[in-house]
Amino acid sequence: MSSTVERSRTDMKELADYSEGPALTSATLEQPDGRSRIGLAWEDGTHTWLPPIWLRDHCPCDVCRHTSSRERLYKIIDDEIGVPDVSLDDNMLVLNWPDGHESCFDGIWLHQRRPGQHHFQPAIPEARAWREGFLPDHVEHRDFTESVSGKRAWLEALIRDGLVMLDNGPTELDEVIRIAESIGPLRATNFGARFDVQSRPNPNNAAYTAIELELHTDLPNWRHPPDIQLLYCLENDAQGGASTFADGFAVAEAMRREAPHHFTMLAETPIDLRFQDDKHDIAVREPIIRVDDHGVLREIRFNNWIRDALDLAPEQIEAWYDAYRDFWARLREPRYRADFELSPGQMIAFDNRRVLHGRGQFDPNTGKRHLQGCYLDYDMVESKLRVLSRHD
């Protein structure tokens, strides 16, 4: 329970809010295991203890933290830390160190940052697997561009579902760039910072044709493929060309449950992925599915056009193809997919390392079809959401 009593505040060189929280009620020097600790307790009943070195390392004074960048200046290796004198001044912890330095800490900030809580940064939505019949959230272009709540809703849906729509925007060239740059700098690739998805002669990529595009992720041949893709529809009068998307994580989790040997094959067997044209030859060797050390899904690399020659031991080849075909067949199942037409002034954004995308064949002789796209780093999406959270 937070107290509303006015208390003295300490500048912690922190932009996130720490104005509301329980008061610090006691601060004592303790030696629970023969080593000095600072014991802290708050009015809500929570308590913790901190080693002196942690507190010295986090001193927020102008000598230890840069006044404008808020970056740490203090070098923990340069001093013998020692044990400070401990006192409490209203809601402020005051430490006087043996070398004469004084450190002051805001009690609410300490409550937020006490070890093991992991709640001091604004909450980022957890990924949520698509259920059958999934449809993405829609946000109005005006709400996105003119209100904090609209932009936050769009960002939260993108992070949570891996896919979100923006509706009723202008059909102006480079509007996708203006939207993207309101979040962060563009991620350039060998196709440039912005790309135009149109049928063209002598294409160097299947996207620049009118053929059907099977579900895929973009640029899996890069060491770090683009995170977020934005596709903005400027014209779409041609017959055909419906967009389709699938939740690759949901498919991979289903495979892990139902065909674990196939999941293991795709998660533990790296293959070669390669794009080459007259100017570029970009290649990497990675598995189709990547999990972290805890088994959590982190990435799907699936693009049938740019798989290079399959270089595996002969006894692995057929087993790998069995797993690959299983994954591909699951991607085609309606329960994992979302299909819809993009209209002029509509933009879709999706997590390229989770959500696969494709389109139906279209007839360029029946009308124009023009989409503009670009990429963003996922870090910029989370960053913008954290900045917007300061407006709460």
Among 47-51, 309-313, 363-367, where is mean pLDDT lowest? Answer: 363-367
Looking at residue 1, what is its pLDDT? 41
For the chain, the structural domain boundaries read 24-113, 137-389
Do 24-113 and 137-389 agree at the fold level? no
DSSP type of residue 270: -
What tokens appear for 270 in the block? 């790296």
Q: Which residue has the tokens 């059909």?
A: 171
137-389, superfamily in CATH?
Clavaminate synthase-like (3.60.130.10)
What is the per-residue pLDDT across 8-30, written as a single tens digit (0 to 9) for each? 578 999 888 888 899 999 999 98
Res. 3: pLDDT tops 50: no
Instruction: Give 31's DSSP letter.
Output: -
**Whether the predicted pLDDT of 313 surpasses 90:** yes
CATH number of 24-113: 3.30.2020.30
Residue with tokens 């990529």: 205
Give the pLDDT confidence score for residue 121 in this predicted structure: 74
Say whether pTM exceeds 0.85: yes
Pairing mode of beta strands 213-216, 337-340: unpaired
pLDDT tens sequence across 186-199: 999 999 999 998 76
Question: Per the structure block, which two tokens stand in for 306?
Answer: 């740019």
User: Has residue 369 got a pLDDT over 50?
Assistant: yes
Residue 260 is predicted with a pLDDT of: 98
Q: Is the CB of residue 215 less than 8 Å from the CB of residue 246?
A: yes
